[in-house]
Chains A and B, each alone.
Chain A
């Protein structure tokens, strides 16, 4: 039985695999993937997750909309969310954090940074 469950939301299979590869190094972690915001909401509706990694630019529903919907749902508003974005500008980061994201990771993706954020948000020392 895994201790922590992580949902990775990205329309790019390459990105999902990159993030999954990084967080798999944490012990007792189960990883699920979603290809966009709507797919993520379907998965979030039926299951409990301890952390969400989400891209911003996705078809159907983008990451920022997903963050605001998760934050407005009492059942999952406390779930930590880390945004992964190509935008490195400070205002994009501030905007994402203001919407309720807990952390912000910029591309190109670095496994060490993903691991650090996952550890912090999951409370793993």
Chain B
């Protein structure tokens, strides 16, 4: 669930409030957006992806709150990592969209599984 908005980075642009599909955030009064309904967070990481200031951290835990240390998260390089690997905004030319490889992976897995079957059948036969 969404656990952290870094005050020093947030530009209060309002995007996270707008794009959150679960309406977790409220606009702050001239300051940080408010984590108003964290229990509704669906852990989809969309707020992070749309945050150009790399100010948001979503913990992967979807069924429990976890404590997040701001200094640690800042130092970890994890802020903005999803946006970067997705090739969004300024990262567009360095991280290509390779979703198309998904079908290659499934094909190779199918071939590997078929191969494994043949091999184990052979073992049984020669035993």
Indicate whether A and B interact.
Answer: no
